Amino acid sequence: MKKQYVSNSSGSVRMFRNSFLESLSKVHFSVPLFIYVPVIIYFSIRSFSGGADISTFVLFYFIGLAVWTATEYLLHRFIFHFVPRSRWGLRLHFIFHGVHHDYPKDAKRLVMPPSASIPLALLFYFLFSLILPTKMHLYAFFPGFLTGYLAYDMMHYAMHHYNFKSPFWKRIKQHHMLHHYDDSSKGYGVSSALWDKIFNSDFPKKNKNAAAR
């Protein structure tokens, strides 16, 4: 596979001439926590006030968490890594994900900016509201889904900026680093390699063993 350009710089290229638009493309890694933790708490409370008992809430919360892991994989593989042929399409691809692959150490472009995550969260909320049977179930499911998203964002930041000591976390980081530095057509799962194993997009063991040395 042809190796792509990867910068070792801690910064990245300017994406917009307009300073306001440029500022929207960058975000401190903690910002999603301040936005979505209150949302998770709010919907959790609404679920209980709507009649959910502990078992119902826990069940749908973990279903939401599991659905996020699949969503993360599918978005990363089929949306973020879809490379269009048109000039404007290539530009859009670079803005959404290409810049991260070219400049993976840029700390301000490692978590999804609110300008992108909030519209996506609203879209998914509307979609789930059409699928789930009642508001009570939706209000238990959506906090789990958002918790999965926050875990993904925080783990993604840590993988690029933290030296893990635990073998468990080292394996997860290794999986993502192979995606960046070995073969970007594999290893789409960031918070988990589960869906890569299911859909046969995991790295061969020899690649993982070589990366671990």
Q: Is 109 a member of any domain?
A: yes
From the number of C-beta atoms within 10 Å of its C-beta (0-12, 13-18, 19+), residue 55 rates as exposed
Structural domains in the chain (count)? 1
Give per-residue pLDDT as tens, 130-143: 999 999 999 999 99
The model's confidence at residue 14, banded by pLDDT at 50, 70 and 90, is: confident
* Average pLDDT score over residue span 99-120: 87
- pLDDT digit string, tens, across residues 50-60: 999 999 999 99
Which pLDDT score, from 0 to 100, does residue 20 have? 86
Q: Is residue 9 part of a domain?
A: no
Q: Does the pLDDT value for residue 113 go beyond 60?
A: yes
pLDDT tens per residue across span 136-186: 999 999 999 999 999 999 999 999 988 999 999 999 999 999 998 899 899
Q: Angle at the Cα of 183 (from 27 to 7), degrees rounded to 5? A: 45
Residue 161 lies in a domain: no
Express as a percent the part of the chain with pLDDT over 70: 91
Summary count for the chain: helices (H), strands (E): 10, 0
Domain that holds residue 92: 19-150
Please report whether residue 209 resides in a domain. Answer: no
Q: What is the pTM of this model?
A: 0.89
Whole-number mean pLDDT of the chain?
Answer: 88
Q: 52 lies in a domain?
A: yes
207 falls within a domain: no
In a domain, 113, yes or no: yes
Q: Dihedral of CA 199/201/206/211: which sign?
A: negative
The token duo for 183 is 């073969």
Residue 117's pLDDT is: 93
Q: Is 159 a domain residue?
A: no
